């Protein structure tokens, strides 16, 4: 009989906490313009929101998050980099390097992340690994180590190429990992940067960094095939998240909406759990009292 009582207690406790958390997370998830999206709690790597988060697709220039962390981990940022003709002529967004220019690796990583320079990405790859394909090998090794199971990198810049793809979830994992590196974190959240090679500032293309109190960093991307891609990080009252959207026509608003939703979810889950734990002793006392009365028992013993 006592075993029966114990089993009933366990079942009831499980039901109580399950019901509690279901109520906490009952708020309907917001709609977003993105074809694929995810919000990850960077402190726990828990998924707070997802929309086809594990579907592989083109990712455009958010590729450069991987380029940056590989470069930072592999080499000294004070190293000097000779710009090749191949790098200087790379199509798409650029920091307007010229063949024969010499930049520090640090300058190039800032140009890569703030201005999305494809010339910077190519120069970094050639300096670190000898070629773009050699660098892609390092990118894929890092992806495998992090646990990015649905990603394949073929170049350091994100221009459309066969077998170059990732997922919203994998890119969130990558960003969460990269943000543990102090140098990457600083660059990711820099609003403007002045290279010694030029006499004007590079401003970050991530406008949420300039306009949203939560945002702590980010990387934009776009190609016709991939659409608009965006990765941002945000922090509120010590809680940190990363948001990834792929093929999003209204990505800035998507991220604002997901910031509010995610931080509310984290707060409510934390508050709900604390309240239930505070009420746990009184619940147990009430449960035993009712159970004892049902069975005519004056005192409970096990």
Residue 169 in any domain: the answer is: yes
Residue 17 in any domain: the answer is: yes
Q: Does residue 190 register a pLDDT over 90?
A: yes
Q: Which residues are annotated as a binding site for substrate?
A: 219
Query: What's the CATH code of the domain at 7?
Result: 3.40.710.10
Write the DSSP assignment of 105-159 as a string of letters.
HHHHHHHHHHS--HHHHHHHHHHHHSSHHHHHHHHHHHHHHHT-TT-B---SS--
Number of domains the chain is built from: 1
Residue 301 in any domain: the answer is: no
Query: What span, in angstroms and rounded, lies between the C-alpha atoms of 130 and 128?
Result: 6
Return the number of other C-beta atoms located less than 10 Å from residue 297's C-beta: 12
Residue 279 in any domain: the answer is: yes
Share of the chain above pLDDT 90, in %: 78
For 223-253, what is each residue's pLDDT tens digit? Answer: 999 999 999 999 999 999 999 999 999 999 9
Q: What is the mean pLDDT of the chain?
A: 87
| Residues with catalytic function | 61, 64, 116
Q: State the average pLDDT over residues 206-219.
A: 97
Query: What span, in angstroms and rounded, lies between the C-alpha atoms of 265 and 236?
Result: 12
Residue 300 in any domain: the answer is: no
Residue 9 in any domain: the answer is: yes
Return the closest-CA partner of residue 242 out of 181, 288, 295, 174: 174
Report yes or no: 71 and 128 within 8 Å, Cβ to Cβ: yes
For 260-269, what is each residue's pLDDT tens digit? Answer: 999 999 988 7
Residue 275 has what pLDDT? 47
This prediction has a pTM of 0.83
For 17-71, what is each residue's pLDDT tens digit? Answer: 444 444 334 468 899 999 999 999 999 999 999 999 999 999 999 999 999 999 9
Residue 71 belongs to domain spanning: 2-294
């Amino acid at each position: 009989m006592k075993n029966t009582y114990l089993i009933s207690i366990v079942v009831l406790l499980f039901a109580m906490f399950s019901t509690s958390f279901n109520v906490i997370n009952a708020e309907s998830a917001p709609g977003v313009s993105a074809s694929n999206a995810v919000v990850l709690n960077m402190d726990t790597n828990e998924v707070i929101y997802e929309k086809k988060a594990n579907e592989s697709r083109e990712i455009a220039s958010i590729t450069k998050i991987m380029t940056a962390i590989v470069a930072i981990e592999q080499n000294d940022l004070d190293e000097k980099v000779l710009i090749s003709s191949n790098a200087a002529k790379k199509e798409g967004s650029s920091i307007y390097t010229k063949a024969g220019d010499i930049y520090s690796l640090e300058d190039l990583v800032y140009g890569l992340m703030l201005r999305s320079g494809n010339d910077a990405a190519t120069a970094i790859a050639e300096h670190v690994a000898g070629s773009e394909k050699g660098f892609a090998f390092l990118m894929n090794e890092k992806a495998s180590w992090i646990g990015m199971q649905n990603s394949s990198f073929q170049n350091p810049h994100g221009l459309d190429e066969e077998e170059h793809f990732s997922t919203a979830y994998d890119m969130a994992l990558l960003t969460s990992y990269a943000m543990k590196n102090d140098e990457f974190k600083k660059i990711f959240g820099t609003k403007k940067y002045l290279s010694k090679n030029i006499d004007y500032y590079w401003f970050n293309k991530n406008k949420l960094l300039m306009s949203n109190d939560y945002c702590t960093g980010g990387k934009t991307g776009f190609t016709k095939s991939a659409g608009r891609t965006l990765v941002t990080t945000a922090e509120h009252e010590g809680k940190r998240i990363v948001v990834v959207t792929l093929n999003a026509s209204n990505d800035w608003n998507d991220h604002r909406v997901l910031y509010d939703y995610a931080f509310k979810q984290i707060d409510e889950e934390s508050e709900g759990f604390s309240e239930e734990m505070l009420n746990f002793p009184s619940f147990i006392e009430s449960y035993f009292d009712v159970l004892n009365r049902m069975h005519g028992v004056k005192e409970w013993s096990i």
